[in-house]
Amino acid sequence: MSPRLAEEAELRFESGGPAYRLMQRLGVIKGQGPSIGRRICCFLIVTWVPLLIFSISEGRALGTTPRESFLLDFATYARFFLTVPLFFAADLLIGPRLRAAGLNFIRAGFVRPEDYAAVDAAISRIQRLREALLPELVMVGLAVFGAWFFAVENWSGISGPTWNSLIMDGTARLSLAGAWDHFVAIPILQFFGLRWIWRIAIWTHFLYEISRLKLDLVPTHADQRAGLGFLGNAHISLAIFPFALSCVFSADVAFRIYFEAAQIGAFKSLFIAYLVIAEFICLGPLLTLAPAMSRARRRALQQYSALVNDHNREFHKKWVSDSWSADQQLLGNPDMSSLIDLGSSFQVVRQMRSFPFTERQMLLIAVIASVPMMPLVLLEMPVGELLRILAGAVF
């Protein structure tokens, strides 16, 4: 095995980087982390607690309308108590799985020994990208920009005053709650989201570099993914991100249904688009391996087709042509088993897919992304009616 791959910590995606080291210096992360609980508490102290204090002092905790009431904003609870904590928890859920998947290319023999040096070079590039300062500075800029242009309130067409408006009561007086939300709370939230997008981009780059090697794939593998089915299993963990974002989306829709009499059907197109994006986030990186898998399948089909031709032609000569003799034992003859086994192997190659994930995994990701949206049905349909529909479907 390559010497550097003996140290699993070399292949990390969940930790490291300038922001991670800053949190270590500030004591938010103890030692090597991940200190999930400490990070969540510190995040809430810096974001949600000041918003609560400022909104109370400005009379916006429970304002004249639901939109002007901080404590009635469902999306705010989802952002600060679910989304970012889930981003932190992803360190424990996703990081080890991606690292194990990356190391499995070596351990399962998909990378040939002569390519170990190329894998080491790819890991070195991962470390440099992970520790680089410039990408995180860009993320800070995008987070500040996104707090103004990519927040739910901006793209969802909300008009009129809200609890986080910058101007108080149409006057020139600055709202502390609005300023803290736009300049501190939302940028921090979006920074951690962008940070994980960057981590996924690094992992995608690693997969791309691996795909360029002459991988020793196994087209006859029972997973019908040339042995790379472990990647699809690892990527199921990425569904934590669409689940987290779905919490915010669902909370905003719930607010509109409950307080503004919106119809859930009005969000159908957004929901479908969101599921497509969720699938791309979770499984898109694996498409980098599709060309290598397609080549392996085509090559295996040619090789196994030629092998089947030669084998079956010899089988025909021995057992079907005039050369067959009655003293040859038919039952239990290994020739019969080899005919069946070789045919089965050819069928497995034919059924091999050119992407390392299954339709079942795609469905599972869609279900996970949809879970936060399920309670919305209860806002428009009485529980008794829903139970009757479910009972009718079952019985």
Tell me the per-residue pLDDT of 323-353, one tens digit each, with 9 for 90 and over: 555 555 555 556 666 777 777 788 888 888 9
Assess whether 304 and 334 both reside in one domain: yes
- Tell me: do 359 and 230 sit in the same domain: yes
**26 is a domain residue:** yes
Asked whether the beta carbons of 257 and 264 are under 8 A apart, the reply is yes
The yes-or-no verdict on residue 391 having pLDDT over 60 is: no
State the pLDDT at residue 361. 93
**175-224 pLDDT per residue, tens:** 888 889 988 999 999 999 999 999 999 999 999 999 999 999 999 888 88
Clarify whether residues 134 and 71 are in a common domain.
yes
Task: Return all residues near 38 (Cβ < 8 A) that are at least 6 apart.
Answer: 28, 29, 30
Q: In the predicted model, what is the mean pLDDT of the chain? A: 83
Say what the pLDDT of residue 3 is: 45
DSSP string, 39-95: HHHHHHHHTHHHHHHHHHHTT-TT-SSGGG-GGG-HHHHHIIIIIHHHHHHHHHHTH
Q: Is residue 243 within 8 Å of 369, Cβ to Cβ?
A: yes
pLDDT tens-digit series, residues 298-331: 998 888 888 888 777 777 777 666 555 555 555 5
User: Comparing C-alpha atoms, which of 341, 363, 351 is closest to residue 222?
Assistant: 351
pLDDT-derived band at 6, boundaries 50, 70, 90: very low
Look up the domain containing 183 and give its range: 1-85+129-199
Same domain, 147 and 251: no
Rounded to an integer, the average pLDDT of 89-111 is 90
Residue type, 182: H
**166 and 267 part of one domain:** no
Q: Are residues 287 and 193 in the same domain?
A: no
Please state, in angstroms and as integers, the Cα–Cα distance from residue 255 to each residue in 43, 147, 186, following that order: 24, 20, 19
> What DSSP string runs through 238-293?
GGHHHHHHHHHHHHHHHHHHHHH---GGGGHHHHHHHHHHHHHHHHGGGGGGHHHH
Report which of residues 266 and 78 the model is more confident about: 78
Weakest-pLDDT range from 128-132, 226-230, 267-271, 349-353: 267-271
- pLDDT value of position 327: 56
* pTM score: 0.85
Rounded CA separation 62/271 (Å): 30
Residue range 110-169, pLDDT digits in tens: 999 999 989 988 888 888 999 999 999 999 999 988 777 765 455 555 556 788 887 776
| Same domain membership, residue 8 and residue 147 | yes
Highest mean pLDDT among 8-12, 32-36, 268-272, 341-345: 268-272
Residues in Cβ contact with 202 at an 8 Å cutoff, skipping those fewer than 6 apart: 13, 126, 129, 130
Whether residue 337 is found in the same domain as residue 391: yes
**What pLDDT, on the 0 to 100 scale, is given for residue 43?**
93
Residue 167, beta-bridge partner list: 174
72 and 141 together in one domain: yes
Same domain, 32 and 178: yes
Q: List, in order, residues 6 or more apart from 142 with CB less than 8 Å away.
A: 190, 194
Query: What are the structure tokens assigned to 234, written together?
Result: 């690892």
38 within a domain of the structure (yes/no): yes
User: What is the average pLDDT across 266-271?
Assistant: 84
Mean pLDDT (whole number) for 39-67: 91
- 380 or 234, higher pLDDT: 234
Domain boundary among 148, 167, 199: 199
Determine, yes or no, domain membership for 158.
yes
The two tokens of residue 79 are 């952002």
- The reported pLDDT for the residue numbered 209 is 94
User: Taking the CA atoms of the chain, what radius of gyration do you get in angstroms?
Assistant: 28
Determine contact, residues 345/312, Cβ cutoff 8 Å.
no
Question: Which pLDDT score is estimated for 265?
Answer: 79
> Of 203, 241, 289, which is closest to residue 82 (Cα–Cα)?
241
Q: Is the peptide bond before 242 cis (omega within 30 degrees of 0)?
A: no
The residue among 199, 234, 259 that closes a domain is: 199
**Is 174 in the same domain as 266?**
no
Nearest partner of 207 among 288, 272, 269, 135, judged by Cα = 288
Q: Which residues contact 160 (CB under 8 A, 6 or more apart)?
A: 65, 67
Name the residue among 70, 76, 82 with its Cα closest to residue 40: 82
pLDDT value, residue 322: 58
Does residue 183 sit in the same domain as residue 291? no
Number of domains in the chain: 2
Look at the chain and count its residues. Answer: 395
Q: Which residue has the higher pLDDT, 33 or 253?
A: 253
Residue 191 forms part of a structural domain: yes
Residue 93 near residue 237 (C-beta atoms within 8 A): yes
